[in-house]
Amino acid sequence: MASRVKSSDIEQLKERADIVEVIGGYVSLKPASSGSFKGLCPFHGEKTPSFNVRANPAFYHCFGCGVGGDVYKFLQEIESISFTDAVERLAQKVGYELTYEEGAPESSNRSKLLELNKLAATFYQEQLASEEALKAREFLVSRGFDASSAATFGIGYAPKGWRNLIDHLTSKGHKLEDLITVGLAMQSDKGGYDRFRGRVLWPIKDANEQVLGFGARKLYDDDEGPKYLNTPETPVYHKSGVLYGLDLARKEIVKKREVIVVEGYTDVMACHLAGHQTAVATCGTAFGEDHIRLINRLLGQSSDPASVIFTFDPDAAGQKAALRVYGDSSKFNALTFVAAGPEGLDPADLRKERGDKAITEMLGGKKPLFEFVIRHRISQFPMTDLDSRVAAARAAAPVVADIVDPALRGGYTRQLADWVSLDVADVSALVNGNKQAGVRERVEPMRTSEPAKQPASPQQKHEEQILQVLVQHPAAFSIEQLRRMQAAGFSEKEHRELVDVILQNPQSLSEANFANALANTVGEELLPLVRSLALAPLPVANESELQRYSAGIVSGAMLQTLNREKTDLLAALKRLEGSSSSDQIEQIQRQLMSLEAERRALMR
């Protein structure tokens, strides 16, 4: 039976881990209100940050799509792993040694597969120095990469034999079926054989430097396989969601708010070695939406615009790729550009033939992606007569209409008119017509016969403010105040239920990690509410402002409570009119006087 991590370790590890630092490894976070950080949600597409993280309470919550939870939940969701895998992954990040309830630890499946990839990468690197790997070393030198460059990128060599890696890893106690699962070996009637043989290899890592898979190029004429062979889809490798070079580029991407997207492993190496360390590449697949989400998380949101620069080959395939990316360009939280090398040279060839400076010049000559698309559309027409020039303008006008910046749109309208030799007013009419059509097209799907969701009432908003302070700064409330507020009544059912839970354990208000304790106490139906309250930004910048704001919210809540108590007492007094219950009347009058004194004290 598999060993389980001790529950005490799970709690201690969560307390030791800094959730802001962990999530910050996946999402670009910026300070928001006091103690809160904000970024773009990694779980749904957005351009305005609504994803909030706090260290205390240690929660994340997206006010856009509603996802949220603790650090374990985040790792489970972002990496698509089990709870046990998330615990072990976090332990690796913070250097915490886990203990298991049944003796020696038994690695989770994901951890086991990642360890196999790591061992394989080391084996391949060592083989690059062997006599057999001469062809691989010569290939690298021919592309302009020396031994130091190979070491930086962890390049290795897979020997020609059928079972070199299998024999190496199984001799260390690893199972063949695990090697097959992670894509290092292939199943056969005789047991199995190495997937990569006689090839130079690049380890493909995630942003946290874990080896997810490999890309391999053939070296020998008798190799009948494809020129490039990648790890297949496995439990740890999904080609649509990885970018080669991200482990080396991540910090520079976040710092410079720039991504250079190239087409191959050697292109990534060339850019990095030429001083442009934000270069990455897709791995055997077209650039897609998962890649866009990954890049957006790293770029974050800022008033300073980010840049994504694509280096496409000038051939038909490269143009097709550029047009496909243009179709998704609005999904980037960045400006998109195209940079092309002279004479169709890719970055690796350009560096080899003309040096590092040529890479810098190529990137410096980047053009907006929409300009590339405009020129491509115009090029489809002969431009030899009026009809073809008008047709070219009609084809390019929708691209110009999509340019958001009005000044830039006007400039490219004039440029398009010049390119097609037509009057600016005529081209402007085509562009404006497409812009209006685009607006109608975007608005139409928003039309609905369903009634719009009603905005929160002032009372609901006030209650939310009260509960935000209660969850984030419980010391601002006394138990007696909270009981009176609950008796006076909250308008929302889930608000009443949450306060009931708190009042059942009143001593919890004094706990340092009140919100965490509350989250562990409430049921699943109230957990999203607790997270949203705990992570709601408060209009404060420091502790003293928090104290003043909380005191103001509590005073306002108590004034509302006093008004409700007064209303109830006046109703009771009215019911006693004409009766002989003088003692009851006097008691109510004393209570009313006490309420008035309390109200005046709060108003000071």
* The two structure tokens encoding residue 451: 């009634």
Asked if residue 49 lies in contact with residue 301, where contact means CB atoms within 8 angstroms, the answer is yes
What is the model's pLDDT at position 78? 83
How far is 75 from 115, CA to CA, in rounded Å? Answer: 18
Alpha carbon 305 to its chain's center: 18
What is the model's pLDDT at position 582? 79
* The two structure tokens encoding residue 355: 């040096």
What is the number of alpha carbons within 13 Å of residue 210 lying toward its C-beta?
17
How far is 361 from 364, CA to CA, in rounded Å? Answer: 5
**CATH match for 246-373 among 3.40.1360.10, 1.25.40.420, 3.30.1020.10, 3.40.50.2300:** 3.40.1360.10
Asked if residue 41 lies in contact with residue 60, where contact means CB atoms within 8 angstroms, the answer is no
Fold of 109-237: DNA primase DNAg catalytic core, N-terminal domain (3.90.980)
What is the model's pLDDT at position 315? 62
Asked if residue 169 lies in contact with residue 179, where contact means CB atoms within 8 angstroms, the answer is yes
Amino acid (1-letter code) at residue 537: P
Maximum distance among all Cα pairs of the chain, rounded to whole angstroms: 112
Asked if residue 337 lies in contact with residue 308, where contact means CB atoms within 8 angstroms, the answer is yes
What is the model's pLDDT at position 204? 96
Torsion-angle region of 183 (φ positive above 0: left; ψ -120 to 50: alpha; else: beta): left
Any idea which residue has 């580029």 for tokens? 249
What is the model's pLDDT at position 453? 54
What is the number of alpha carbons within 13 Å of residue 185 lying toward its C-beta?
27
* Regions in the chain scoring below 50 on pLDDT: 1-2, 104, 439-443, 445-452
Domain covering 7-94 in this structure, CATH number = 3.90.580.10
How far is 116 from 195, CA to CA, in rounded Å? Answer: 14
Rounded to 10 degrees, the C-alpha dihedral 471/477/479/483 comes to -80
Q: How many residues does the chain have?
A: 604
- Please state, as a whole number, how many other Cβ atoms lie within 10 Å of the Cβ of residue 458: 8
Which pLDDT tens digit goes with each residue over 157-209?
999 999 999 999 999 999 999 999 999 999 988 889 999 999 999 999 988 78
pTM of the model: 0.68
Q: Where are the alpha helices (DSSP H) in 489-581?
A: 493-504, 514-521, 527-535, 543-575
Picking from 181, 290, 291, the residue whose alpha carbon sits closest to that of residue 236 is 181
Asked if residue 39 lies in contact with residue 51, where contact means CB atoms within 8 angstroms, the answer is yes
185 beta partners: 194
What is the model's pLDDT at position 443? 45
How far is 527 from 427, CA to CA, in rounded Å? Answer: 56
Torsion-angle region of 154 (φ positive above 0: left; ψ -120 to 50: alpha; else: beta): left
Q: Is 568 exposed, middle or buried (0-12, 13-18, 19+ CB in 10 A)?
A: middle
Any idea which residue has 């005490």 for tokens? 8
What is the model's pLDDT at position 277? 96
Any idea which residue has 């492993």 for tokens? 265
* The two structure tokens encoding residue 395: 């084809």
How far is 296 from 290, CA to CA, in rounded Å? Answer: 10
Domain covering 458-603 in this structure, CATH number = 1.10.860
